[in-house]
Amino acid sequence: MKKVTETTAAPGSKISKGFLPDVKVPSSLPPEPVVIADMANLFGVTHRTLHFYEEKKILSSRRMGLMRIYSHQDVRRMAVINLLRDIGVAVAVIQEIMGKLDHAPSQEAADDIFQTALETRKRELTLEISTVHRQIDQISNLMDVSDETYPEPVYDTVSNLTEQEKYCLELMAEGYSSTRLSRTLGMSADELSGLEEGLLGKFGVNNRFQVVAKALTMGIIEH
């Protein structure tokens, strides 16, 4: 029988498991120990992503021989991390949240910490939506000033969009993070970056918010 040894996010450090909020874990949970390939498949991430989380001290693993393995508690921890990433929480903020959860004295305290994090992110997204609406108004005003200039490029842009680009725009409008976009579209990070660059070029804008705002204004996607 192979010896199981503990590995951590950083040499000499150990992540306290603490209390975790009640977050849904994948239904097809394999028995312990969970090997890294299964862990990656459960959450639709790469091995590199799991290594990155360990480097950031928000996830830990053990070794059984040459294999990297995880416990069911690690899976539950990853479920929290993955949910936070899906709603666009930055890794640095996730580090703070997981640190607080590690020191939560009770389940109730852990749930309160998580709810506070969700409320904070909701406020941030509300501000971002306000920014998008303001940009839509700015674009609408510009289009009203130069009606004779915009119609032809608009139709050209619509006709040149691929089905994949239209689908990507719809997901962007729903607030999908880059990680979630990659997983939903079945693309690597580099492929997604290329797709987004193409959209920026076709719409003649500088960022994702402007792409969504212009697509909404043109009627390419719906609110």
pTM here is: 0.58
pLDDT for the residue 1: 41
Q: Are residues 161 and 208 in the same domain?
A: yes
Residue 30 has pLDDT above 50, yes or no: yes
Q: Does residue 223 lie within any of the structural domains?
A: no
Q: Which residue has the higher pLDDT, 112 or 6?
A: 112
Q: Does residue 211 lie within any of the structural domains?
A: yes
Q: Mean pLDDT throughout 97-121?
A: 95
Summarised one tens digit per residue, pLDDT across range 62-96 is: 998 888 999 999 999 999 999 999 999 999 999 99
Q: Are residues 36 and 81 in the same domain?
A: yes
Q: Are residues 13 and 99 in the same domain?
A: yes
Q: Does residue 42 lie within any of the structural domains?
A: yes
Q: Does residue 37 lie within any of the structural domains?
A: yes
Residue 150's domain spans which residues?
146-218
Q: Are residues 162 and 91 in the same domain?
A: no
Q: Are residues 75 and 156 in the same domain?
A: no
Q: Are residues 95 and 154 in the same domain?
A: no
Q: Give the tokens for residue 130.
A: 């306000």
Q: Are residues 85 and 164 in the same domain?
A: no
**Number of structural domains the chain divides into:** 2
Q: Which amino acid is at 167?
A: Y
| Final residue in a domain of this structure, among 82, 109, 136 | 109
Q: Does residue 131 lie within any of the structural domains?
A: no
Q: Are residues 195 and 98 in the same domain?
A: no
Q: Does residue 136 lie within any of the structural domains?
A: no
| Final residue in a domain of this structure, among 92, 109, 126 | 109
Q: Mean pLDDT throughout 164-179?
A: 85
- Compute the distance between CA of residue 42 and CA of residue 186 in angstroms, rounded to an integer: 15
- Compute the distance between CA of residue 118 and CA of residue 57 in angstroms, rounded to an integer: 21
Q: Does residue 88 lie within any of the structural domains?
A: yes
Looking up tokens 């660059």 gives 197
Q: Give the tokens for residue 195.
A: 């797709």
Residue 5 has pLDDT above 60, yes or no: no
CATH, residue 160: 1.10.10.10
- pLDDT averaged over the chain? 83
pLDDT for the residue 153: 46
CATH, residue 17: 1.10.1660.10
Q: Are residues 83 and 161 in the same domain?
A: no
Q: Are residues 104 and 22 in the same domain?
A: yes
pLDDT for the residue 13: 39
| Final residue in a domain of this structure, among 84, 109, 134 | 109
Q: Are residues 19 and 95 in the same domain?
A: yes
Q: How many residues does this entry show for the chain?
A: 223
Residue 200 has pLDDT above 80, yes or no: yes
Q: Does residue 49 lie within any of the structural domains?
A: yes
